[in-house]
Structure 1
Amino acid sequence: MKTPPLIVFTDLDGTLLDHATYDWSPAAPVLQDLIQNDIPVILTSSKTAPEIADLRSAMGLDAYPAICENGAGVMPAGQGAMPERDAYWRLREALDSLPTALRAPYRGFGDMDVEHVASSTGLPLEDAAKAATRAFSEPGLWSGDDQGRADFIAAMAERGVHARDGGRFLTLGWGRRKSDAMAEVLAQYGNPPSIALGDAPNDIEMIEAATHGVIIPNPHRDPLPPLKGEGDGHILREQMPAPNGWANAVSTLMRRYI
């Protein structure tokens, strides 16, 4: 495989997709520019493989792999099969082993019907069904207090399950991060320079690991704390939210490489 001049890793919700409407159309010209200059765009999200497959095709990115469920899985280029779900069912068993008082305030996608997943995400029913088809991880909503949340996270950690705060949900998984999958994909392409863009705590390691990290502001959540690399310009904070901020940041940075 020929090493490209640059590679882009991007979160979706709140980064490339508008947080409320999921619109990405303002970024379409920049995506086309990247494709025409042989710069791979790797969708890197908490979304499931079925969800990402549809978006990847709509964006014209089927020639590139994608990273699903917060780094737990790497989807090959093209339309791949649904991953095995054994890891998900083991996670659900760990969750259901908690004492009732700890378990009750957490409502994961596996505890919801499709209509509730749709109302919680703002997705149409068909898309919500794809979002609920997990292979590695479990997003959910916490309805208890902060102390209960801390106790819940600690109890899951004792069972080998890690909790990460994403753009919308508290997501449970087995510890593999977006940055781990990012390193795997970078190696496939010969470790070219990279841009990584995100808006949420589960994007931090990926942003810090890239040649150029970009924080996209999300008005629907608290801003990310200062990250190492911001002081020397290794990490930038975009001023505009998704998708316009994404388009501006990527367009500016890619000009250094083409």
Structure 2
Amino acid sequence: MQNLRKLVVFSDLDGTLLDHDTYSWDAAKPALDRLAERDIPVVLASSKTAREIEILQEQMGLSGRPAIVENGAGVIGVPGIDKAETYAALREALDRIAPALRHSFRGFGDMTVAELTKVTGLPPDMARLAQARGYSEPGIWSGSDTELDRFIAVLSAGGMTAQHGGRFLTVSFGGTKADAMDAVINALCPDLTLALGDAPNDRTMLEKADMGVIVANPHRPPLPSLVGEKAGRITRTQDAGPVGWNAAVMAFLDTLGSAEGHRRNG
């Protein structure tokens, strides 16, 4: 079936399309199948690496679609984008931070595969792929909130930023999921965009899209009210993870189909 309104769906992964505990996306398969039937692109947007996302795209039937990787620090699948990888320079900049602050941030590059497996719940082969980074460094912050403020200030002075995701604090040289959306939108030229996410690093993406869905995640505090939420442009799910994702996308497609039917018959 043709995608009549040229809809593009942008989706976070962990805690949104993927279950927080099991990483399963099975509960979202009905909605993914329905999107595929209508040739509606699903653009994955995550802190995951390009290789991690490519594997998930293959499993979900999304191969060849654009994707936003490493929290917006990189984009794949869009012709003409050839952003040089910056991970080595990022690690060097982190290691120049005073040890008292630096030691409170334990990044993926600081961990062994066994440690990362324990922290993420990923199997060892996937943990290795999570360490094969090109643009950003996720990690665990173990210091106080006051020290975190100092850490972020030092990062900013060095041209770096930090974003809170569903599980980790991710450091990069800049770029958000919303920034990366521009490249994808320019390539796909949609009439309508839908974004789904659950964490603070999804906020700009949710607010940028024409319609946004905050997917419930009982493992973290709920997001505060977002711009557009009072007007109904951004909604929230009752169910968590892929169950909530599936229900939200199904409802959106029902509404979109009804509106298109009225336009054709009007």
Is the pair's TM-score, using the shorter chain for normalization, greater than 0.5? Answer: yes
User: How far apart, CA to CA, are the structure 1 residues paired with 2:70 and 2:212?
Assistant: 20
Structure 1 residue 65: deviation in Å?
1.1
Tell me what 1:27 maps to: 28
1:257 — aligned with what?
256
Matches within 5 A, 1:94-243: 94-243=93-242
Q: What 5-or-longer segments of structure 2 have no aligned partner?
A: 258-266
What is the rounded CA distance, in whole Å, between the counterparts of 2:148 and 2:105 in structure 1? 9
Counterpart of 2:74? 73
Distance (whole Å) between structure 2 residues aligned to residue 244 and residue 180 of structure 1: 28
Counterpart of 1:150, as a letter, is D
| TM superposition outliers: structure 1 runs of 4+ over 6 Å | none
Say which SS state the counterpart of residue 62 (structure 2) adopts. Answer: coil
Q: CA deviation at 1:112?
A: 0.6
TM-superposed CA distance for 1:83, in Å, is 7.7
Paired residues of 1:5 and 1:257 also in contact (CA < 8 A)? no
Aligned to 1:12: 13
Q: TM-score, normalised by structure 2?
A: 0.91
Name the TM-score, length of structure 1 as normaliser: 0.94
| Alpha-carbon distance between aligned partners in 1 of 2:58 and 2:5, rounded to the nearest angstrom | 21
Percent of aligned pairs sharing the same letter: 50
Corresponding pairs, count: 253
Conservation of the 8 A alpha-carbon contact between 1:3 and 1:189: no
In 1, are the aligned partners of 2:7 and 2:190 still within 8 Å (CA)? no
| 8 Å contact kept, 1:4–1:40 | no
* SS of residue in 2 equivalent to 1:239: strand
SS of alignment partner, residue 63 of structure 1: coil
Match of 1:247 in 2: 246
Q: Are the counterparts in 2 of residues 4 and 189 from structure 1 also a CA contact under 8 Å?
A: no
Query: Are the counterparts in 2 of residues 83 and 135 from structure 1 also a CA contact under 8 Å?
Result: no
1:153 Cα deviation from its structure 2 partner: 0.9
> Any idea what SS the aligned residue of 2:63 has?
coil
How far 1:191 sits from its partner (Å)?
3.2
Quote the offset at 1:144 in angstroms.
1.1
Q: 1:102: how far off? A: 1.1
Gaps of 5+ in 1: none
What SS does structure 1 have at the residue aligned with 2:238? coil
Query: What is the Cα deviation at residue 256 of structure 1?
Result: 3.1
Q: Indicate the residue corresponding to 2:261 in structure 1.
A: none
Larger Rg: 2
After superposition, the Cα gap between the structure-2 partners of 1:16 and 1:130, relative to the gap in structure 1 and judged at 3 Å, is: same
Per-residue deviation, residues 22-61 of structure 1 (Å, max 9, x unmatched)? 0110111110110110110001111000110100000000
Does the C-alpha gap of structure 1 residues 142 and 223 become closer, same or farther in structure 2, counting only changes over 3 Å? same
Structure with greater helix share of residues = 2
The amino acid that maps onto 2:87 is Y
Contact 1:71 1:177 in 2 (8 A): yes
AA of the residue aligned to 1:26: A
- CA change 1:189–1:3 in 2 (3 A) is farther
